[in-house]
Structure 1
Amino acid sequence: MQENMEYLIELPQDRAQERLYAALGYFVDFMERPREASEVLKDKQRSVPAEMLPMLF
């Protein structure tokens, strides 16, 4: 991996967009953490909430 990688991130001007970016960051951190076997066994498929559909499509 390159040690001196620079990323250009434009901060959102809109408050709602800022909250969305923060939520996505927390979600990515949550998804990348190692999971215990007991957590995996409890997983159940769930439908996406209707308010999230515009973000997916």
Structure 2
Amino acid sequence: MQENMEHLIELPQDRTQERLHVALAYFVDYMERPRDASEVLKDRQQAVPVEMLPMLL
């Protein structure tokens, strides 16, 4: 095994990039959290617009 492991993720040096990474981490945490029953019941299936369907002919 290699004793001196390199970092795979470089920390941002720019303040704007740092804020972007924090916002992205928050969004990912939000999307991966378990949803409660009231949120699941609010989900409704919707038809896909015809423009998004591939041509079948």
TM-score, scaled relative to structure 2: 0.55
Pairs within 5 Å for 1:1-57:
8-42=8-42
Instruction: Return the offset for 1:8.
Output: 1.1
Distance 2:18 2:43 in 1: 30
Query: Which structure 1 residue ranges, 5 or more long, are not aligned?
Result: 1-5, 45-57
Q: From the two aligned structures, give the one with the greater helix fraction.
A: 1
d(CA) in 2 for partners of 1:25, 1:8: 17
Q: Bigger radius of gyration, 1 or 2?
A: 2
Moved over 4 A (4+): none
Q: How big is the alpha-carbon RMSD for the aligned residues of Structure 1 and Structure 2?
A: 2.2
Normalised by the length of structure 1, the TM-score is 0.55
